[in-house]
Structure formats: C-alpha cells, structure tokens
Amino acid sequence: MALHFPIEEFHARIAATRRGLAERGLDALLIFAQESHYYLTGFDTGGYKHFQCAVLTADDRPITLLTRRPDREQARRTSIIEDVRIWYDAEGANPALDLKQIMAEKGLAGGRIGVEMATHGLTAANWELIRRALDGWCTLEDASTLVQLLRVVKSPAELAYVRKAAALADDAITAVLATARPGVFEGDIIAAIQSAILKGGGDVPNGAQVLGSGDRALLVRGTTARRHLSPVDQLTVEWSAAYRRYQTGIMRTFAVGESKPAHRRMFEVTKEALAAMTEAARPGEPVGRIDEAHRRVFDAAGYEEARLAACGYSVGATYPPRFMDYPPLLYAGNPMPAAPGMVLFLHAILADAKTGNAMSLGHTIVVTQTGREVLSKLTPDYEPLR
C-alpha cells in the first residue's frame, strides 16, 4: 500500500469521526467527499466524479466502499479499506440500490444516517437516486461538516506536507521572477511555474491558478487565452502548490517595465494590510478578526471599493475543482476561534476598476500556540520586472 501516514493516524481519525457520529446521534455516515476518503483511509483517486460512497458506522465495524471497477485496485493500493464493493455501468444502472444493500447488511434500516452533501463528490442527480432509494427506509440528514471540521486542525505529519507545499509555492514565485519580462508570453511563465513545482516533487495544483496581465491582472479567477506582456504592464499571479494533496497558496502582483506612483502606493497599502491580517491571526481569537484588520487598513487608505468582501480561507488536502478548504472562510464576524494547527491562506487584493490598476499579496500561515508562522520565505517587493 502507498500510504502517506501511519496506519495509527488513520485509525485515530476514524475514531474521532465515530465519536462525532455518536454525539450527533447518528448510526452511520455516507462519505462522498473525496477529501474525507483521503483523510480517513488514504484512498487517493479521481473516481469521485462518478457515484462513489464509503459507509462508516458509529460502531467499530470496518468501512465499506462502493465504487466502480476502475477504482478497485486504486482503493486496495492507496487505502486501508479492505471491503470494496463494485457497481457496474449498465443502461438504467442505479448504484443507490447497491448502497442500500450494503446498508441493509449493516443493519441500518430505520437508522439516522448522516450524508456528506456539501461536496463535488455528490451531484444533485446522485442525491436524488439516494433520496428515492432510501425514502421511508431510514432517516437522512446533512453531516457535511463532521469530517470537514476534524480536518481543519492539522497533525504534525500533515504540517510536514504543508511546509513542503509552501516551499514549492516559493519556487513558483521564484520562477516568475526569473521569467517574466516585457514581451514574454504568459504561457512561458506558467510553464516555468509548473516545471518548478513538478520538478520539486509536487502535484498538479487543484486551483488558485491565476496568471493575468494588463486588464486581466484585476481578475481573481483563471481565464483562457494568453498574451505577451506589454513594455509597461502589471502581472497578477495567484498559485497553489500541492504536495501529497496538501495545498498552499501564494499571491503577488508585479509591476512590469516601470514603476508607477499610484501602483506603488497600492503595493505599500496592500503590504500593510497583509501584515495586519497576519498579526490578527492568533490562537483563541475569532478568525473574523483577520478580515476586520484587512478592511480597516484598506478602508482607511480609501480603497474600500477596490477590496474584496473576505480575505482568505482554510487550506488542506483537497481534490479538483476544490482549492479552498473552508470552513473557516475569513469574513468579518466569523466567530470560529483560531486554533493551533490551522492552515490559512490570507490574501489582500485590490482591483481598482476605475484606474485599471491591480495589487495583490498573499501567503499561507500556520496558527501556532503563541501566534502564527508565515510559511513563505520570500519578502514581497515592488521592483519592476525588466
């Protein structure tokens, strides 16, 4: 088996999930989130785009996985799951009925069953199959946050992967600094970034793959079509690096060709905002205070209309198309207390539609016992790329 954690750590995670089921009065959990599969068992696959579910009971019986034939060996070789059942593609196939049979074997008829609903691993169409198959047979309720909340605080073994991912994110920015110049094709910059991450042993990132110049430097979502950098330009890069599926984010806006006073001022204010946000990340304090610091600095400098309404989120081991791994999302008023072991991506973003200027800075932190640790070793700078 190709496990990335000791078996004892998986057993501890499963035990914590079972305690959560007992606290909620649930008899079992239907696991559809691929992140939960990976966290609880090590199961590493892209097969979640089809109907795939693991049944975890509140008692100590083994987990049973229902999946398609292509994922049988995947489960055997990447996870601690021993009971793997297969449903087969056919005209009119209904894997929800196969799932019901597994649940019947486990004596779950009439029980209260939690379902992971807030996941790309459960489409509305598949949920409808489940709802119809189990209607009147058991009681279903949303338990999307049960494993999700356990995953927010990382173990020492997880943090080792997070730190490796953060080092790869620094490599990505170093690749931009070495490649981006007036006249350079954006695709060449992306190729340099991906090369640095993959050569460093990283994975293809799930998301936060934003690279845009000119007007597209104001965008915070990736777009298609590439251009060459102009003699005087701006370049926004938001990239995630991934190692053993653990994601970290980093973000920069660069001046290209020459410095502009208004653009430099945006950089200085954004740097101040990111520093205030980082300082606000303290164990025991509500994570909403991070966004309150973000708003305070930008609004005082006159950039209220250019900033975003939230300033970051939790990150961890995720699967496409998910990069954000919230809760928690960092918005003003969020009462969730920061806890040691939380990994948060903080971003301070300005997109001034009136002037066409953009400025963004972001980094990943780990909340510690006494404060926070910034994982990036790079210091933001405003020297134009020439």
CA distances to 22, 43, 113, 116, 122 from 31, rounded to whole Å, are: 16, 12, 11, 6, 9
User: pLDDT at residue 43 above 80?
Assistant: yes
pLDDT of amino acid 65: 98
DSSP state of 27: S
Using the Cα atoms of residue 151, residue 154, residue 160 and residue 165 in order, give the sign of their dihedral.
positive
Lowest mean pLDDT among 11-15, 144-148, 175-179, 325-329: 325-329
Q: Is the pLDDT of residue 208 over 70?
A: no
Strands across the sheet containing 139-142: 83-86, 64-67, 53-57, 28-31, 112-115, 139-142
Domain 156-374 CATH (choose: 3.40.50.620, 1.10.8.10, 3.90.230.10, 3.40.50.300): 3.90.230.10
The percentage of residues in the chain with a pLDDT greater than 70, rounded to a whole number, is 99
Q: What is the DSSP letter of 287?
A: T
Mean pLDDT of the residues in the chain: 96
Q: pLDDT tens, 340-382?
A: 999 999 999 999 999 999 999 999 999 999 999 999 999 999 9
- The residue-averaged pLDDT of 132-158 equals 98
DSSP 189: H
- Judge whether residue 181 has pLDDT over 80: yes
- Amino acid identity, position 103: M
CA dihedral 293, 251, 327, 120 (to 10 degrees): 150
318, 137 Cβ separation under 8 angstroms? no
The residue-averaged pLDDT of 257-284 equals 97
**How far is residue 343's CA from residue 326's CA, in Å, rounded to a whole number?**
10
CB of 250 within 8 A of CB of 363? yes
Indicate if the pLDDT at residue 1 is higher than 90: no
Structure tokens at 352: 């001034």
**Is the preceding peptide bond at 321 cis, omega within 30 degrees of 0?**
yes
Rg, the chain, Cα only: 23
Per residue in 224-255, pLDDT (tens digit) is 999 999 999 999 999 999 999 999 999 999 99
Q: Domain boundaries in the chain?
A: 7-150, 156-374
Q: Give the pLDDT band (50/70/90) at residue 2.
A: confident
Cα–Cα separations (whole angstroms), residue 384 to 106, 253, 294: 64, 10, 25
What is the predicted pLDDT for the residue at 5?
A: 97
Residue 237 sits at φ, ψ, to 5 deg, of -130, 120
CATH T-level topology, domain 7-150: Creatine Amidinohydrolase; Chain A, domain 1 (3.40.350)
Measure the CA–CA gap between 168 and 306, rounded to whole angstroms: 30
Determine the Cα–Cα distance for residues 40 and 19; give it in Å rounded to an integer: 14
Alpha carbons 308 and 328: distance in angstroms, whole number: 17
Give the β-pairing of 210-213 and 372-374: unpaired
Q: What share of the chain is helix, strand, coil (3-state, %, to 5)?
A: 35, 25, 40
State residue 326's pLDDT score. Answer: 87
C-alpha closest to that of 102 among 147, 146, 137: 137
- Neighbour count for residue 368 (Cβ, 10 Å): 15
Task: Please state, in angstroms and rounded to a whole number, the distance separating the CA atoms of residues 361 and 238.
Answer: 9
pLDDT tens digits for 275-297?
999 999 999 999 999 999 999 99
State the DSSP code for 187. H
Pairing verdict, β 112-115 and 139-142: parallel
